[in-house]
Amino acid sequence: MVGIPNEMLATLSSSAEAADLWVRQNVSRYVIKGGVDIRYVAVGNEPFLTSYSGQYLPYIMPAILNLQQSLVKANLASYVKLVVPCNADAYEASLPSQGVFRSELTQIMTQLVSFLNSNGSPFVVNIYPFLSLYNDPDFPQDYAFFQGTSHAVTDGPNVYYNAFDGNYDTLVSALSKIGYGNIPIVVGEIGWPTDGAIGANLTAARAFTQGLVNHVLRSEGTPLRPKVPPMDVYLFSLLDEGAKSILPGTFERHWGIFSFDGQAKYALNLGLGRGLLKNARDVQYLPSRWCVANPARDLSDVSNHMKLACSVADCTTLNYGGSCNGIGAKGNISYAFNSYYQLQKQNALSCEFDGLGMVTFLDPSVGDCRFLVGLTGTSSIASASQPAAYFWISALLSTLIVLL
């Protein structure tokens, strides 16, 4: 799946030539013998979000129609399908059977789904039970998982035991109400973060993800689509992203099932017949040394240094609910200093902080709070840059998507 940023929709909607150029540069040049297996083009990413206040709505259908013609010209329209990934806030209801698209989206959703149906494209939706739990203090915690709940939702003859099924069937109901109740559905994103907020931890992430995988592989479907599981399910995400925007929440950098260095965060069986996730091998780390707060110095004037460090490096584990939240003020300073130091490839000057930092060879990690050591090479600790890690993980991702 190749994605088009929302910011490009206006240009693609107004210019057939721009659409032709985009398809040539991003699709047709790669779909060759021995090349890339591109199945979908995502036209925008969650462009219907309430927070966008409708700014992308005028561009979606014109952009899709231009791009479709471009695929036809390139003789790719029968194989590469256009989709529009939607967030679950595009539809609403108090019960799954009452699901409808938001009133201001009814017209464009009808046009979009009609196009998808006519061209053999699925409806792509991103579902996040974690966000339901994170945003609503009254949301029943066990309903977010797949291990059974004391807060089952009864909807006529149907009973819902987890938030995923309830959310999915709300979409099915909304699609049915505009005449397309049987269109295939792909879950484009679903996952659980492991750090940075209350409820974002390894135990919860493993319980959710393993429960989801088991649920999908049983092919039970949902009450409104029994025995018909989603066409595909994409786990979000493969790796942590240490430079990702944290505007939605400080958990945003911690969705990966692998940490930045290709190491599995928790035991997870994807049902591939190969057992649990395996760590990337032969990852090359920088030397085992860390930058910490100098205990011999007065740290009362350290705030600007911490702001500098955390404006560049990732300090989100220090937030309330994070794995490093309880290590104390001096520990917080050390964590921020070290994160910056590793990002700068352990450059000696990057641990100066006007004399407030010092290099140590003793691992300052405490309990679940891990002080990182960066990777060698040219990229930062925010990405697994080593070939062994990269190619192994890419292969696993391909297998995972095909399986689910």
pLDDT of residue 399: 38
Domain boundaries, the chain: 2-258, 290-360
pLDDT of residue 212: 97
In this structure, are residues 9 and 63 in contact, taking their beta carbons and an 8 Å threshold? yes
The one-letter amino acid at 31: V
The one-letter amino acid at 108: I
Domain 2-258 has CATH 3.20.20.80: yes
Which stretches does DSSP call E strand in 131-248? 153-155, 158-160, 185-190, 221-222, 225-226, 232-235
**Rg of the Cα trace of the chain?**
23
Q: Is residue 17 annotated as a catalytic residue, yes or no?
A: no
DSSP-assigned states of every residue in 73-84: HTT-TTTSEEE-
User: Cα(307)–Cα(390) distance, rounded to whole angstroms?
Assistant: 32
Question: What stretches in the chain show pLDDT beneath 50?
Answer: 379-404
pLDDT of residue 377: 75
Q: Which residue has the tokens 């032969």?
A: 282
State percent of the chain over pLDDT 70: 93
Of 250, 274, 271, give the one whose Cα is nearest residue 322: 250
pLDDT of residue 241: 94
Of 7, 17, 104, 189, the catalytic one is: 189
Which whole-number Å values give the CA distances from 326 to 19, 201, 230, in the listed order? 51, 14, 40
Which whole-number Å values give the CA distances from 387 to 239, 262, 280, 291, 320, in the listed order? 15, 11, 10, 27, 35
User: Cα(287)–Cα(285) distance, rounded to whole angstroms?
Assistant: 6
Of 7, 17, 46, 241, the catalytic one is: 46
The predicted-structure confidence for 37-94, as pLDDT tens digits, reads as follows 999 999 999 999 999 999 999 999 999 999 999 999 999 999 999 999 999 999 999 9
Of 257, 117, 233, 103, give the one whose Cα is nearest residue 164: 233
Q: Is residue 46 annotated as a catalytic residue, yes or no?
A: yes
User: Cα(342)–Cα(289) distance, rounded to whole angstroms?
Assistant: 9
